[in-house]
Amino acid sequence: MNTPSTPPSGAERLRSILAGAAGNLVECFDWFTYAAFALYFAKVFFPEGDQTAQLLNSAAVYAVASSPGPWVPG
Whether residue 39 lies inside any domain: the answer is yes
Domain membership flag for residue 23 = yes
73 has a pLDDT exceeding 60 = no
Class of residue 54 by CB neighbours under 10 A (exposed 0-12, middle 13-18, buried 19+): buried
Domain carrying residue 34: 11-67
Q: Both ends of the chain: CA-CA distance in Å? A: 29
pLDDT in tens, 29-52: 888 888 888 888 888 888 888 888
Euclidean distance between CA atoms 74 and 61, whole angstroms: 19
Q: Which pLDDT does position 70 carry in this prediction?
A: 62
The answer to the question of residue 56 being in a domain is: yes
38 secondary structure, DSSP code? H
Highest mean pLDDT among 14-18, 25-29, 70-74: 14-18
Instruction: Report pTM.
Output: 0.60
User: How many domains, in total, are found in the chain?
Assistant: 1
What's the pLDDT at 18?
Answer: 93
Q: Is residue 6 part of a domain?
A: no
Considering the domain boundaries, does residue 5 fall inside one?
no
Average pLDDT, the chain: 82
Q: Tell me, yes or no, whether 1 lies in a domain.
A: no
Task: Give domain status of residue 63, yes or no.
Answer: yes
